[in-house]
Structure formats: C-alpha cells, structure tokens
Amino acid sequence: MTAPALVLHHYDFSNYSEKVRLTLGLKGLAWHAVTIPAWAPKPDYTPLTAGYRRTPALQIGADVYCDTALICALLDERVPAPALWPVSAGERALGEALVYWAEHALFRPLALYITGLHARRFPPEFHADRARLHGKPTPVIEAVEAAAGRYWPQVLPGLERLERLLGDGRRWVLGEAVSLADFALYEAPWFLETIGGSAALPAALTATRDWVARVAAIGHGRP
C-alpha cells in the first residue's frame, strides 16, 4: 500500500510554516501544499483542525498534526536522518532554549515592527485578526504605524546577538551540523528580507547574511 502523502496547509509568509518547509527540505521529502488564508475566517481550515487557527498544519491521510514543534518532531521520527538535533543532550537543551528565544523574544517584536512599517499593505481584517489573537481590541491604523518605531530598537539587539554567535566562524548555530535551532533563528531574518520592503537585514551583519544564505540553500524539499 502506498504511504499517504504529506500535505502542508500553510501560507507563504508564515514564519512557522517556513520552519516546517525547511525541515521538509532537510529531510528531502516530497509534499503537497494547500494554501490557506492568512487571517480569519478560515472556513475550510478550522473544521479540518477542530478549531485550531494557527498556521501550519500537516495532514497525513486522515491524521492532522498541529503545532510546529509536534510537526517537526513527527518528521524527525519518520525520517531520522539527517536528524534535526544531531548534537549532545546538553547542546540540544541549549538549542531548544534558542528556539524559544527566537520565536518569542526576537520574532514577536520583529513582526510588530514590519506590521507597523507596512500597516496599510495589510487589510483591516488582518489587523483585527491579529489583535483578537492576542486578546486586544482592533487598533486604529495610525497607532499600528506609530508602533513601528518602538519595536526596531527591540529587534536590532537580538539580530546583533545572533551576529556575535555566528561571528566566531561556526557554520551553524550549534556548531558543525545544521539543527532545528538554525531554522527557528532563521525565521526573523527571513521574514525581514521576505516582506520587509524598505527594511532589510543590516549590511554590517555579515556572518548572519552568510548563514542566512546557507539555511536558504537547504530548500523546501519537493513540493
């Protein structure tokens, strides 16, 4: 019997989807894509996920897996090599801490910065959806734009910290082998370069720029 196909329900500028796409690339996997809306309503997606509204979800036959930590762990279990954590237990613990920092302390203010910088490129439904997700009232567009200036000073030190980490000549975040920590840390510069428009990764961050190119070269497998 043919194994059921991998179907990723995602949209192109989702940072968490990019982490999964890179995992699929590292594993050399073939997969199918279903593009879902970037904001509510998601009339076909939420019934499939039993109400889960975040992106992405991975479907394998009748099974649907939500949350990127679960999805990446599942793919690592199904295709053990190359491993997502080819490191010692202690190095993995450090890597998992970096994943959390990357997706919360670094990416969150970056997303708010980009949203503010290009607030009028996003429809009102997008702003209302993201505010609702965080339990806040829908903001006025001028307030979203004004917030951009507050967030870049929070983002830049994080990017500079990543530059210092990579600046000792290491090829990957945890050393000689790529890991899930690389994919999580990649989300911020990828997002900045993908939809940042006039914003871009500072030219002075040369080690980070070289590392970004290495991560991007892994690709997305065979969509």
Collapsing DSSP to helix, strand or coil, 9 comes out as: strand
Q: Which of 105, 111, 136 is nearest to 199 (CA)?
A: 111
Which sequence spans correspond to the domains of the chain?
Answer: 6-78, 89-218
pLDDT in tens, 97-111: 999 999 999 999 999
Please state which CATH class domain 89-218 belongs to. mainly alpha
Collapsing DSSP to helix, strand or coil, 40 comes out as: coil
pTM as predicted: 0.95
Q: Strands, E, within 22-156: which ranges? A: 32-35, 57-60, 63-66
**Is 199's pLDDT higher than 80?**
no
Q: What percent of the chain has pLDDT over 90?
A: 90
90's CB contacts (< 8 A; 6+ apart) are none
Domain 6-78, CATH = 3.40.30.10
